Structure 1
């Protein structure tokens, strides 16, 4: 009986120790970037259009109430995905990141893409208390076509014309507090006249899919899709980064948007990378990540 009692005591102690170990393991997992306990952080459905699910990925950390950065991928509006966002180094700079998929132009023409991104932002605000980031401090960043869409979202804060109703949560705001556009478009009415021969090979078919025709054939839609056409004194701070040797997206596109901001005395920073092409490691090296982190820290600070 004594041996049985001793065995039961030892067995209970062992089980208790194992339970404590498991609890410690789950706590440790909960502190890892991109892990939120038993909550999903990948392929989170933020909306559904005619049976097509719209999804995003979250990259979180142990620190709560972080500002949130929404990343919009490029791909000439007709390709690309939310996977492997190139800005993940910003997670180590004190930001939560949401990488968003949206309907490509092969699935739906403009303005579906903007409707989807704004829907994702409304969803992210509605879920802030669940995941722990600060929904009052949201910035947006995009590359190439994603840079264009990010800029368009930024300059159409509170615009009913481009809000849409995808995903619901219409009681939430899709407003962003600042914008970063990396080698993105800003004026679809001038982009072809500024393009190189290589650029035209990319942009002509891409615009055909996005607008359902060329800008000269769809002037009103091309204007609606152009960030420069929506500027007003309430637009949020903007950072533009573009290579001066970009063969695909004319550097003049960023120049136009920077000039439009400056004319309204809005906060804008236009950084030109000498010899920079269309993307590449120089856009995400330590200097550029530091530049973006500083910009977001300055404009997503707590009031």
Structure 2
């Protein structure tokens, strides 16, 4: 464990939240130095197709949002070359329970926890929030005295229904240059035996429809879920924006509070770009469903990270 201090945030690295078959799963915690305890917590789940990446893949957590009064926790989870689904969601739920066990030690509020995930991490965030706390916990779960319930979920461009991705794919989008997007193979179909989705499930997706359904967060959506914020670039060639529409619609149909922002001119991986908002607001199409009533705005402007911060401040205050 190492402590790193900057002008506004203390960073505690390499905390072990679980050990599985001799493999340590690590987390970093970012704490505002001028903190008013107990701190609301945001857990970051990185992207990378469940195949690559680690807890360092993401925006600057000092800026987003530790310096704004949140405890940021970024975690590793087992990748698909180490173990296949459902190992990854087991790890995410273990990490949520672990955060609750260390709340008193680090001045955290275990009753105000948000999940924030991008791409594959967005999928895992949705799956963690839509399933029951006793689902996907594995045998002999750690920290079983705690639950994996959270109070808010923010998702960027997460895949949901793997069997629909190929038919929905955007062919003329934007190839981003962030550290995640440059590693995504071009011209690969989700139905290919070596696609990220197939490798994640441990079999070609067309051969295991029941496993695909089990990994689909929409399978578990019900009423009474925590509020969701969903963002997707309309020029995403890796994960079509319709995947986020599917999640939004299912949540809205079950009378959950959910907002969907479809953003013009952005491709995949934009949440890894710390400087994203420095170019000014983005034009978005928004869908907001609250208490069963929907409002649609075809041309509003917003700052991406600013909107996410506002969401967590509203839901975790």
Query: Is 1:289 the equivalent of 2:305?
Result: yes
In the other structure, the counterpart of 2:300 is none
Query: Is 1:201 the equivalent of 2:174?
Result: no
* CA positional deviation for 1:215: 2.2
Q: Once the two structures are superposed, what CA deviation does each residue of 1:266-292 show, in whole Å capped at 9, x if it has no partner? A: 101000111210123499426211101
TM-score (norm 2): 0.79
Q: Classify 1:87/1:167 alpha carbon distance in 2 versus 1 (closer, same or farther; 3 Å).
A: farther
Structure 1 Cα separation of the partners of residues 105 and 13 of structure 2: 15
Give 1 or 2: higher strand fraction: 2
* CA positional deviation for 1:87: 5.2
Q: Which has the larger radius of gyration?
A: 1
Q: Once the two structures are superposed, what CA deviation does each residue of 1:63-122 show, in whole Å capped at 9, x if it has no partner? A: 121100000000011000101531522112221100010000000000000000110111
Query: Is 1:168 the equivalent of 2:142?
Result: yes
Q: Tell me, yes or no, if the aligned pair for 1:189 and 1:223 is still in contact at 8 Å.
A: no
Q: Give unpaired runs (5+ residues) of structure 2.
A: 172-184, 279-302
Q: Once the two structures are superposed, what CA deviation does each residue of 1:217-245 show, in whole Å capped at 9, x if it has no partner? A: 11111111111111000211100000011
In the other structure, the counterpart of 1:70 is 43
Query: Is 1:53 the equivalent of 2:28?
Result: no
Q: Tell me, yes or no, if the aligned pair for 2:46 and 2:118 is still in contact at 8 Å.
A: yes
Query: Is 1:111 the equivalent of 2:127?
Result: no
Pairing of 1:22-37 with structure 2 (within 5 A):
32-35=8-11
In the other structure, the counterpart of 2:316 is 300
* CA positional deviation for 1:166: 6.8
Q: Classify 1:283/1:210 alpha carbon distance in 2 versus 1 (closer, same or farther; 3 Å).
A: farther
Structure 2 Cα separation of the partners of residues 196 and 130 of structure 1: 47
* CA positional deviation for 1:163: 2.2
User: Which of 74, 85, 101 pairs up with 2:76?
Assistant: 101
In the other structure, the counterpart of 2:129 is 154
In the other structure, the counterpart of 1:26 is none
Structure 2 Cα separation of the partners of residues 87 and 274 of structure 1: 23
Q: Tell me, yes or no, if the aligned pair for 2:229 and 2:260 is still in contact at 8 Å.
A: yes
TM-score (norm 1): 0.82
Q: CA RMSD in A?
A: 2.1
Give 1 or 2: higher helix fraction: 1
Pairing of 1:173-184 with structure 2 (within 5 A):
173-184=147-158
Structure 2 Cα separation of the partners of residues 123 and 117 of structure 1: 10
The farther-off stretch of 69-78 and 281-290 is 281-290
User: Which of 249, 254, 263 pairs up with 1:273?
Assistant: 263
In the other structure, the counterpart of 2:15 is 44
Q: Tell me, yes or no, if the aligned pair for 1:141 and 1:150 is still in contact at 8 Å.
A: yes
The farther-off stretch of 190-199 and 206-215 is 190-199
Q: Classify 1:125/1:31 alpha carbon distance in 2 versus 1 (closer, same or farther; 3 Å).
A: farther
